Structure 1
Amino acid sequence: MNLILTVLEIVAPVGLLGLVGFLWVRLGFEYRLEFITRLCMTLSLPPLVFTALMKTEIDPAALTSLSLAAALAYGALTVAFWAVTTALGLDRRTFLAPLIFGNTGNVGLPLALFAFGQAGLGYAVVVFAVMILWHFTFGLWMVAGGGSPARLLREPIMGATLLGALFLWQGWETPRWLTNSLDLLGQIAIPLMLITLGVAVARLNAGKLGRAVWLSLLRAAICLAASLGAGLLFGLPPVALAVLILQVTTPVAVTSYMMAEKYGADAQSVAGLVIASTLLSVVTLPLTLAFLI
């Protein structure tokens, strides 16, 4: 019973804030998704990532191991899902990126924070940074036939990640007044991201949900195997291993739908994956957390 209550305490805030966004749209209220997304990605999430990295107390060896384990996990997912899309005859422009990249920002960061505290958030940010690096290079190239390191470096989230990593590595800290200001700005990100997730799901018109459901089940199994194997291979400590598994197994990111819509891939099929994997995560995430805790 205590375990169930603990998992509920962790998952409930994520689900309730997502439900707020979903109901907000269903009730007919205006929600400017593009503005809120831009606000989070350019103004609030970068300070959250920077301060989380700067204040994280991670042994340098553990930090290196986690980064390498995350890179290996996403590399394994890329190979595995490339094989899956080839075997099933699926369009790689449409399906490969959504199958690889989970919602490590909207869902993974708050879950890691609620489940494992500030240390968990710090680990989650490291995995998030590795995912962002691969998503905005290989993932963007797959969907749009473009993307480069130069484009990646223009993203505020990457600048914050690199700067935060430098401060973490050197043991530097910003002045207290600046840290407090950045903390306050970063606190906007998590509730807005969760509400926005609910809004985005409410606005999706899903297609081919039957295929999306079994693909989501297959994806969940492969993501669990890849993250667990990579974490054990690098001998990650328990909390770091738990966060790696949690981040890699998050449901398909809403940004995958946005990218498919923007660059002319089959956005409806991606929408189906977003909805199916998000609904599936209502069951899989509590079970994963129960196992990890």
Structure 2
Amino acid sequence: MIQQLANSLVPLFSLIVLGAILGRKTDFFDGKALSGLVTTVGIPALLLHSVLSMEMDIGQMSELVAITVVWIGVMALVTAGVLRLIGFPVRDYLPSLVHPNTGNMGVPVCFALFGPQSLGLAMVISSVIQISHFTLGIGCLSKSFSLKALAKNGPVLALVAGALLVATEARLPGPVMTTLDMLGSITVPIMLMQLGSSIANLKLSGAREMAWPVAFSFYRPLVGLATAWLVLLLWPLDAFQAEIFLVQCAMPVAVMSYVLAVRYHGPAQTIALTIPLSVIVSLAVAIVFSLG
């Protein structure tokens, strides 16, 4: 299991380090061009390909979607209350503290812990989180929410199309799936290198600026895990699904939260620093599950 985790996570950290080096030495990550490419092309292709590659019936998929939506709602309410209590702007910080990195970290971790049969379940949960990034996340950071904008959102349209194709048992031609796979493959590397670049260019004046990122790095995985456990008490899943759900909800702050914070002028530096710190906490949770 440790070897599988290493195989999954070493590439992740290697890309972050590469991004940090390039961010210090080049201007590759300046501006919004790369973020725009990821959000308008890479993520829709990745999500559609992932949904169509799953082997799952629509009923099982619907139950996982529903319980994940409930968890997001409860987590958002709890987090909004905590942020008001400590005097932080709710709209700026709520998306990053609610949304876990269920994609480029959660899916590999689930694979390492539970084997290839967990991938479809993990991807369904990840897909719902991705929709929430582009609804709850953008709604908070942009200070506005528009159904019209949601209807034009690439990731949302990709997931709706995927669900319809799964429900009708339709299959896209092989060349189309290969094209989607190639386009989606650009997403995770660019996001991770952008994160590394941001971390490398952080300007911190002292320990005081580290305090809240450290606190948030514990909050995101641990409160996410506790909230998922409470939801499962009211909406039990079978043991295998429940374990995957708990692990996904305990993942660190999502790289997408950083990408959107950059795009909408949110607290990008704080989020960038919180991500690697929260990875350590989530890894500890994963190790506990592996011993259970």
Shorter-chain TM range is 0.7 to 0.9
Residue 106 of structure 2 is aligned to residue 108 of structure 1: yes
Aligned residue in 2 for 1:41: 39
Letter in 1 for 2:221: A
1:226-257 C-alpha deviation (Å, 9 max, x unpaired): 22333464333455434433433332234445
Q: Cα 1:84–1:160, aligned 2, differ >3 Å: closer, same or farther?
A: same
Inter-partner Cα distance in structure 2 for 1:29 and 1:120: 39
Quote how far apart the aligned CAs of 1:51 are: 1.7
Inter-partner Cα distance in structure 2 for 1:90 and 1:237: 38
Aligned residue in 1 for 2:169: 171
List gaps (5 residues or longer) in structure 2: none
Aligned residue in 2 for 1:189: 187
Q: Cα 1:188–1:89, aligned 2, differ >3 Å: closer, same or farther?
A: closer
Inter-partner Cα distance in structure 2 for 1:188 and 1:259: 17
Quote how far apart the aligned CAs of 1:261 are: 5.4
Aligned residue in 1 for 2:131: 133
Quote how far apart the aligned CAs of 1:109 are: 4.6
Aligned residue in 2 for 1:290: 287
Letter in 2 for 1:50: L
Letter in 2 for 1:103: N
Aligned residue in 1 for 2:26: 29
Residue 61 of structure 2 is aligned to residue 63 of structure 1: yes
Quote how far apart the aligned CAs of 1:280 are: 3.3
1:15-57 C-alpha deviation (Å, 9 max, x unpaired): 222222122223x023235333222222232222112111211
Quote how far apart the aligned CAs of 1:169 are: 1.5
Inter-partner Cα distance in structure 1 for 2:227 and 2:43: 27
Aligned 8 A contact 1:106 1:197 in 2: no
Q: Cα 1:48–1:185, aligned 2, differ >3 Å: closer, same or farther?
A: same
Quote how far apart the aligned CAs of 1:106 are: 4.6
Quote how far apart the aligned CAs of 1:59 are: 3.3
Inter-partner Cα distance in structure 2 for 1:32 and 1:264: 16
Q: Which moved more, 1:9-18 or 1:244-253?
A: 244-253
Letter in 1 for 2:191: M
Q: Cα 1:136–1:98, aligned 2, differ >3 Å: closer, same or farther?
A: same
Aligned residue in 2 for 1:51: 49
Quote how far apart the aligned CAs of 1:263 are: 4.8
Q: Work out the number of aligned pairs and report it.
A: 286
Inter-partner Cα distance in structure 2 for 1:140 and 1:181: 28
Quote how far apart the aligned CAs of 1:4 are: 2.5
Inter-partner Cα distance in structure 2 for 1:123 and 1:198: 29
- In percent, how many aligned pairs have the same letter? 25
Quote how far apart the aligned CAs of 1:198 are: 1.9
Q: Which moved more, 1:101-110 or 1:15-24?
A: 101-110
Letter in 1 for 2:26: F
Quote how far apart the aligned CAs of 1:174 are: 0.6
Q: Cα 1:48–1:280, aligned 2, differ >3 Å: closer, same or farther?
A: closer
Quote how far apart the aligned CAs of 1:222 are: 0.7
Aligned 8 A contact 2:5 2:109 in 1: no
Inter-partner Cα distance in structure 1 for 2:116 and 2:184: 14
Quote how far apart the aligned CAs of 1:179 are: 1.9
Quote how far apart the aligned CAs of 1:259 are: 4.5
Aligned residue in 1 for 2:216: 215
Quote how far apart the aligned CAs of 1:146 are: 0.6
User: Secondary structure at the residue paired with 1:31?
Assistant: coil
Quote how far apart the aligned CAs of 1:143 are: 2.9
Aligned residue in 2 for 1:252: 253
Aligned residue in 2 for 1:155: 153
TM-score under structure 2 normalisation?
0.83
Q: CA RMSD in A?
A: 2.8
Quote how far apart the aligned CAs of 1:162 are: 0.8
